[in-house]
Copies of this chain bind each other. A is one copy, B any other.
Amino acid sequence: MSSSNYQSYLENMQKLADVEYSIAVLSWDKEVNLPSKGAAARSRQVATLSGIAHEIFTDKKFGETLQSLSNNGNDLNDRQKRNIQLTQKDFNRINKFDTAFVMRRSNLISTAFHAWLKACETNDFSIYEKPLADLVDLKIEEAEIVGYKDHPYNALMEEFEPGATVAELDILFKDVRNQLVEFAAKIRSKNEVDNSFLRKNYPKDKQWEFGIHLLKNIGYDFEAGRQDISTHPFTTNFSATDVRVTTRIDENDFGNMTWSCIHEGGHALYEQGLPNADYGLPTGKYVSLGIHESQSRLWENNVGRSLSFWKAHYPKLQKEFPENLSNISLDSFYKGINKIAPNLIRTEADELHYHFHVLIRYEIEKGLIEKTIKVTDLPEVWNAKYKEYLGVEVPNDKKGVLQDIHWSHGSIGYFPTYSLGSFYAAQFFAQAKKEIPGLIEQIEKGDNLQLLQWLRDKIHQHGRIYDANDLCEKVTGEKLNFKYFMDYVNEKYGAIYHL
């Protein structure tokens, strides 16, 4: 009985995945290939497929099958039970919204997005104020509809980081405020590091080749993916055996391509390592955005900005770009690529100040949802926090509160996952160093494959069998602990800045 029901559940989930991955192909193509006049038709094609995906998932008969498996699924194995439990949760959530609410949300997002575009263009927050305020009200309503324990923000984070709570994040971000702000300030008082060599001319083709070399080196499988160029780098996948990355190349900024390439590569290694046999099922998917980000950050920062990594790759890099780098020692290169300086834009931040940007978003989002911060005061609140935490003056809203697309898409509760990613990464990497004998020596020799295998074994292959917290405990023996991130930055930047 359960077995034929589970089969029917499986087929519907795989059909849903086929449609959702088709949308992903259309969206990838939009960013990578679309001729300008093709945009209108592409929008309606994506909208139609999204409608079909929604119908497949919310199908009444599917709901009954699911319910029956939830109630009478004792003969299912653990993996099957986990799938039913997670799908039932998603099904319940989506069915709490009636059509009127979904349409209202969709319209508000569309309005807010276009207002945001215009506000950015004209550097005028007031255009965006009303639509954003409406959207915030709707997100508060959404939290009430979904329901939550303790704090409405928990309901919103659930979409991106299942299980994350304000209670835990408050502790984490208090640590950021108490420990990282002081640490960064100490570094800022030191002499400036010179990284002007990164801004010399690095020809496109050679950068591209070097990026491909790095992707191959960290173990990205080009038979199960490809790299292309897009305005904003991203990773997408249409199965675990077709995982694509994009990068961008600025001829006058070598760092732009290099670390976005390793970052997206890290995301892609995770997707390529997920269990392909569970195509379309929760157990075939990633745990959460925070865990996803941990994989990109681990490769980008813990590996890709380490001295060991560049011991392996710097000789090649110098050979490729002798006019820029022949006079720069490995040590100067390493310091340059780890330059710490406060700045205005999150996506351009160093790996310490990055978390102040997220901290500020977290404080503001919580305030908006608690109604202790009003949208109309956002620019003022924003600028004051940047002054307080980063010591910078925000010259205009475009470089301030208007940066980043997320809110205009209704994504509130997303930003914390960026910091969670780095903190998980530090904790995972510390564990990897304990468990893999000679890991650093391997990285120094350009061999990253044992590290990749360790991540595959400990994290990737499990798909979404465990929640983020449980996974972290299973891999490292304890829950997420900010200490590992501070240990990492203390050791690294203590050495660089002779603290």
Q: Give the B-binding residues of A (Cβ under 8 A).
A: 14-15, 18-19, 21-22, 25-26, 29, 33-38, 40-42, 44-45, 47-49, 52, 221-226, 238-239, 241-242, 279
- Choose one: B18, B25, B37, B222; the contact of A242 (CB below 8 Å): B37
Would you give 24 A-B contacts (Cβ < 8 Å), ordered by A? Answer: A14-B44, A15-B48, A18-B45, A18-B48, A18-B49, A19-B52, A21-B41, A21-B45, A22-B45, A22-B48, A22-B49, A29-B29, A34-B242, A35-B223, A35-B225, A35-B226, A35-B241, A37-B221, A37-B224, A37-B242, A38-B239, A41-B241, A41-B242, A52-B52
Residues of A contacting B: mostly? helix
CA distance A434 to B239 in the complex (A): 56
Q: A18-B49, A36-B223 are in contact. List 11 more A-B contacts (CB 8 A).
A: A15-B48, A19-B49, A29-B29, A35-B226, A35-B241, A37-B242, A38-B239, A41-B238, A41-B279, A42-B242, A52-B52
The complex places the Cα of A41 from the Cα of B242 at a distance, in Å, of 8
Kindly list chain B residues whose C-beta atoms are within 8 Å of the C-beta of A226: 33, 35
CB of A62, distance to nearest CB on chain B (Å): 15
A424 to B121, CA, bound (A): 52
Choose from B38, B47, B238 the contact partner of A224 (Cβ within 8 Å): B38
For the complex, what is the distance from the CA of A52 to the CA of B224, rounded to whole Å?
A: 27
Chain B residues contacting A42 (CB-CB under 8 Å) are 238, 242
Is B238 a contact of A37 with CB atoms below 8 Å? no
Q: Which partner residue on chain B sits nearest A19 by CB separation? A: B48
Which residue in chain B gives the minimum CB-CB distance to A49? B22
List residues of chain B with CB within 8 A of the CB of A14: 44
* Complex contacts, A38 vs chain B, CB 8 Å: 224-225, 238-239, 241-242
Residue of B nearest to A21 (CB): B45
With contacts A15-B48, A35-B226, A226-B33 taken as known, whether A241 is within 8 angstroms of B40 at the C-beta atoms is: yes
Give me the 4 closest cross-chain CB pairs, A-B, nearest first: A38-B242, A41-B239, A18-B48, A37-B241
- B-chain residues with CB within 8 Å of residue A224 when the two chains form the complex: 35, 37-38
Looking at the assembled complex, report how far the CB atom of A14 sits from the nearest CB atom of chain B, in whole angstroms: 8
Contact yes or no, A29 B25, CB < 8 A: yes
A49 to B35, CA, bound (A): 24
CB neighbours of A37 from chain B (8 A): 221, 223-224, 241-242
A241 contacts across to B, CB distance below 8 A? 35, 37-38, 40-41
Nearest CB on B from A76, distance (A): 24
Q: How far is the CA of A42 from the CA of B33 in the complex (A)?
A: 19
Q: Kindly report which residue of chain B lies nearest to residue A279, judged by CB atoms.
A: B41
Residues of B within 8 A of A225 (CB): 35, 38
Closest Cβ–Cβ distance, residue A460 to chain B (whole Å):
16
Neighbouring B residues of A36 by C-beta, 8 Å: 223
Report chain B residues within 8 Å CB of A35.
222-226, 241-242
Contact, CB under 8 Å: A26 / B34: no
Q: Give the complex CA separation of A47 and B18 in angstroms.
A: 9
Nearest residue (CB) in B for A225 is B35
- Bound CA–CA A19/B18 (angstroms): 12
By beta carbon, the residue of chain B nearest A36 is B223
Question: Which residues of B sit under 8 angstroms from A279, Cβ to Cβ?
Answer: 41
Docked complex Cα distance between A221 and B38 (Å): 12
Instruction: Kindly provide the distance from the CB of A118 to the nearest chain B CB, expressed in whole angstroms.
Output: 23
A24 (CB) vs chain B CBs: closest residue:
B45
Shortest CB distance A264–B (Å): 15
Residues of B within 8 A of A21 (CB): 41, 45
Q: Which residues of B contact A26 (CB under 8 A)?
A: 22, 25
Bound CA span A42–B241, Å: 10
For the complex, what is the distance from the CA of A491 to the CA of B26, rounded to whole Å? 48
- A45: which B residues are within 8 A, CB to CB? 18, 21-22, 25, 238
Q: Which chain B positions have C-beta within 8 A of A242?
A: 34-35, 37-38, 41-42
Task: Report how far A243 CA is from B192 CA in the complex, Å.
Answer: 53
Best-buried of A52, A221, A279 by chain B (most CB within 10 Å): A52
Are A18 and B44 neighbours in the complex by a CB distance under 8 Å? Answer: yes
Residue in chain B with minimal CB distance to A18: B48
Cα distance A221–B37 when bound, in Å?
Answer: 10
